[in-house]
Amino acid sequence: MREYELTVVYDLAVAEAGGQDASVAHLTNLVETRGGQVLKVDHWGRRRLAY
């Protein structure tokens, strides 16, 4: 099986039910329901982005 990398950037100011953990769980569920497998989750925390 091929390996792909997914990077997600979202606004921490958005009041989402459950916060960061709920977002990660939702994305993991989304990948797995489509036949994928999540091998690693790496939380980078808050970072300044240069764009």
Read off the pLDDT of residues 1-30 as tens digits, 9 standing for 90 and up: 789 999 888 776 665 566 777 888 889 999
Domain boundaries, the chain: 1-50
Taking 80 as the threshold, does the pLDDT of residue 37 lie above it?
A: yes
| Of 21 and 32, more confident | 32
Identify the pLDDT of residue 14. 62
Among residues 44, 41, 45, 48, the alpha carbon closest in space to that of 5 is found at 41
Contacts of 32 (CB under 8 A, 6+ apart): 38
CB 6 within 8 A of CB 42: no
Identify the pLDDT of residue 34. 95
Whether the predicted model's global pTM rises above the 0.85 cut:
no
**Which pair of structure tokens corresponds to residue 31?**
């990948």
